[in-house]
Structure 1
Amino acid sequence: MDSKHHATVEPIDEKPAVVAHLDDKSELGPDKHAAAVDYTGAERKNDPEEIALVRKIDWRLMILATGFSGLIAAAVFQMDGLRGIAGWRWLFIIEGAATALVAIVGFFMLPNTPLTTRWLTPRERELANARMERDRIGDATEPVSMMEGLKQACRDKRCWLFVLMQNFHLSACSFNSFFPTVVKTLGFSTTVTLVLTCPPFLFAGAAGIATGWSSGRMHERTWHITGGLLVAVVGFVIAASTLNTAGRYVACFIFPVGAYSVNSVIIGWASSTLSQTKEKKAVVLAMTNVGGQIGYIYGAYLWPDTDKPRYGIGFGASAGFALLSIACAWVIRGMLIKENRRLKSSTNERIMLYGY
């Protein structure tokens, strides 16, 4: 059996795989896909498709929330002028207050690690932690300082490639902040425009779950990232090339579906590949997320009013960023293939290999 795509670890007992759902979400990347290969030919799985799907559903809920935000905005904007406050200010007050409240509650409810999760039984904590530890690629067992974790991450060139890949990906998603503006070019009123922004994100959420299931079941990352972002590129090209109402609205379904299908795949891939120590893994996740979000800063300047209604600059740049993100994925894939060959040639023992 070809081991390069498989997330395999030997289960410690026969308990149901659903226990994985009890694990810390920050540790449940979709990439429990490194191979544990016994050179006698044996290979065992640790439910990578289950873990991938759980993580993907988490991200899809976020996308669905983005879609429903248009419907919420349409309702809140009806409060325009109430108590002398503009509609957009009411939107900021209501959504901002709700977000802050949830963040405060989450601070006390969300666990840091399985071993410190109060609402798990001791056995569940042990099992969840053991599953995570078996998927870690590396020999480090002793904890290190966060500063050492930062140094480890900065010295690993793969970390910077993941940061770059996520930056290009989220730069391609800069349309998110201007999606209502793009939809408004179809000629509808503000309220109808806000309502029309919802369906594309619903489809993106459904497609993302399907992508996560496929990626986990096939134990594969690179081709799923490539396929998703190529779909986005097609959508960007269609949107930039036509002002036809039906054609452009169809494009508004295509590029969110493609662009938003790969976010958790990238984050999970980085998480599992660079998990030699927990501290390094934490730093890598922070760097990847922050580095990616930078794309939204300069992405805001790609959609000037002077470029409407076609917005060729924004759509063209987004397509370019998507292609650059694909290129990063293939460079990382090549590096991991080379590293796996080195690992296999260095020992005859059962080892963990990087997944791609």
Structure 2
Amino acid sequence: MATLHKDQGEMDQIQPAPDAASMADEKVEKVVQIGEIRVLGLPPEDEEFYLNYPPEQRKKLVHRIDIRLAPMLAILYLISNLDRTNIGNAAIEGLSADLGLTGVQYNIALSILFITYVGFEIPSNIILKKFKRPSYYIGIIVTCWGIIMTLHGVVQGFGGLVAVRILLGLFEAGFFPGAIYICTQWYMPNEISTRIAYLYLTSALASAFSGLLAAAIASMDGVGGYEGWRWIFILEGLFTVLLGVSCFFFLIDSPRLSRWLSPGEIRYLEIQHFIKDGGQFGEKSSRTSWKAFRSVITDWKIYGTTALLFVNITAGYGVKLTMPSIIKGMGFKNKTAQLMTAPPYIAGAIATVLSSKLSDRFYKRMPFIVIPWMLFIIGYAVIMSFGAHTDQHVGPAYFAVFLVCIGLFPVNPAITSWTANNITPASKRAVGLAFYSGVGNIGGILGSFMFLTREAPAYPTGYGTSIGVLAVGILIGLGLEGAYWYLNKKKAQVPEEEIRARFTEQELSDLGDRSPLYKYTL
């Protein structure tokens, strides 16, 4: 945090704020209420500056941040999804036959990625925070996975394919937690959902773009003696490498390191970050990382939202990795099937934006999880009802694919926001989000084995398992909503004066979301 001082006739200058120790020496113990956040140690002049900051200027500032941060993170997330799932496009261009894959070897290659992806997510997040400039760490891992993606194009058998998939998961593991961490440096909690939605929006666009790009690149079959599916990996990998290098120059880190901000804007954003973390409450709690980890693994609520993510990842990867094959089963040729994947994904992208804006506007999460999943189930049920004869019901089956995509892509932003909104303090939130993302992504392993090649084009195991998993997810979502509602009601029955008589401000802060004053987001 920094404090702005103004001398007569002189320009505003940023002066470093005192650290937590010096502030403690000065016995700055005042607690102020900023919105729903209680903040310890906020100097009166900073409180006045923050509260009196013109709304129009704040709106313009947030817009400027969006322009600089959102596109870069969105492109990175797009390429992350593209590189992780383009193996589905390569599959219908002959990957399995050319590499001599048999049985479930293809499914093993799909799922093996998630072992390192899940296992290295939390360690990667810890390493990220050792970097003064997170953009450098993001640049390194993106460049590395781009090189690994290029190597996908030269593998000669099952062993080589498994090796590059393991390495791809290792380097991709750190990107999403890193992207969320960077977002938290710039935005308040009630602004995060829409920004996360920008990332998930590109997940849908990546799937659409993947089909279009694969259809074009596959026509290079025979160029340089390589099959078309190899060129899909090689060219997309080289683009990823270039994108990784660009991170060192264009990905913004934090307000203090941003020369494009005015001194007043830097001051406002640093005060905002101080407030969001509860001021000295956050500084004190950030020193107890083991305590935060223990708090996360003993918090049943985090397991609830992690289960929701597991459900969506399971169903989602079944869609992303198999969509070209599903549409091919409707009677389309390879290139046409690739192209036909794009419109449903675009519909999913539009639904993501609309759903997230409504979710932030009403500050509700559960309805924007359960309702889309109902559409998802209807879509799969329609396709499943046609069995192996989707080619005789192309119109209804293809429309059902639209329902699936509209029911899939809006959900992840809602779950992630619901998780982040209900974890505090900041130290627990950082560990909790990494745990949530890491464990939830295990669903990718199950999703990789649901759609079996030998069951094409009916895929009864894939559709049936997805519907069952989604139904369980809906029940968990409704149950979690009911639990939050009950806890809020129970807390409201105890007068605030009685609570403050029993606990000190520090004790209430240490309790975090378990504090009797904390209200859960529904």
Which blocks of at least 5 consecutive residues in structure 1 are unaligned? 1-6, 34-47
Match of 2:264 in 1: 123
- Mapped to 1, the partners of 2:456 and 2:377 lie a distance apart of 19
Give the 5 Å matches for 1:187-202: 187-202=331-346
Match of 1:103 in 2: 244
Change in CA separation of 1:105 and 1:327 when aligned onto 2, cut-off 3 Å: farther
CA displacement, residues 290-349 of structure 1 (integer Å, 9 cap, x when unaligned): 222211112111111222211121111112222222222223223322332344325158
Q: Percent identity?
A: 25
Question: Which residue among 472, 480, 490 is the counterpart of 1:324?
Answer: 472
CA displacement, residues 3-35 of structure 1 (integer Å, 9 cap, x when unaligned): xxxx96797232333433538762658x967xx
Match of 2:226 in 1: 85
SS in 1 for 2:441: helix
Match of 2:61 in 1: 19
Paired residue total: 333
Matching residue's letter, 1:152: S
Matching residue's letter, 2:454: T
- Choose 253-262 or 60-69, whichever is displaced more: 60-69
SS in 2 for 1:188: coil
Note the C-alpha offset of 1:121. 3.9
SS in 2 for 1:353: coil
Give the 5 Å matches for 1:1-356: 12=51, 13-15=53-55, 16-21=58-63, 22=65, 26=180, 48=190, 52-106=193-247, 109-115=250-256, 117=258, 119-132=260-273, 134=275, 140-142=282-284, 143-173=286-316, 174-242=318-386, 243=390, 244-277=393-426, 279-344=427-492, 345-348=494-497, 353-356=519-522
Asked if 1 retains the 8 angstrom alpha-carbon contact of 2:220 and 2:231, the reply is yes
- Choose 108-117 or 209-218, whichever is displaced more: 108-117
Matching residue's letter, 2:333: S
CA displacement, residues 184-217 of structure 1 (integer Å, 9 cap, x when unaligned): 0011110001000000001110111111111111
Matching residue's letter, 2:439: G
* TM, length-normalised to structure 2: 0.58
Note the C-alpha offset of 1:59. 2.0
Asked if 1 retains the 8 angstrom alpha-carbon contact of 2:365 and 2:417, the reply is no
Asked if 2 retains the 8 angstrom alpha-carbon contact of 1:172 and 1:318, the reply is yes
Asked if 1 retains the 8 angstrom alpha-carbon contact of 2:366 and 2:414, the reply is no
Asked if 2 retains the 8 angstrom alpha-carbon contact of 1:137 and 1:353, the reply is no
- Mapped to 1, the partners of 2:250 and 2:320 lie a distance apart of 29
Matching residue's letter, 2:54: E
- Mapped to 1, the partners of 2:300 and 2:395 lie a distance apart of 45
Note the C-alpha offset of 1:115. 5.0
Matching residue's letter, 1:162: T
Asked if 2 retains the 8 angstrom alpha-carbon contact of 1:169 and 1:259, the reply is yes
* TM, length-normalised to structure 1: 0.83
Change in CA separation of 1:171 and 1:85 when aligned onto 2, cut-off 3 Å: same
Matching residue's letter, 1:68: F
- Mapped to 1, the partners of 2:193 and 2:60 lie a distance apart of 13
Q: Which protein shows a greater Rg? A: 2
Asked if 2 retains the 8 angstrom alpha-carbon contact of 1:232 and 1:256, the reply is yes
Asked if 2 retains the 8 angstrom alpha-carbon contact of 1:137 and 1:354, the reply is no
- Mapped to 2, the partners of 1:330 and 1:123 lie a distance apart of 44
CA displacement, residues 152-175 of structure 1 (integer Å, 9 cap, x when unaligned): 322222222221110111111122
Asked if 2 retains the 8 angstrom alpha-carbon contact of 1:228 and 1:261, the reply is yes
Note the C-alpha offset of 1:114. 4.4
Note the C-alpha offset of 1:352. 5.2
CA displacement, residues 130-186 of structure 1 (integer Å, 9 cap, x when unaligned): 445555689544222544432332222222222111011111112210110101001
Asked if 1 retains the 8 angstrom alpha-carbon contact of 2:192 and 2:417, the reply is no
Note the C-alpha offset of 1:257. 0.8
- Mapped to 2, the partners of 1:267 and 1:68 lie a distance apart of 24
- Mapped to 1, the partners of 2:202 and 2:60 lie a distance apart of 20
Asked if 1 retains the 8 angstrom alpha-carbon contact of 2:310 and 2:440, the reply is yes
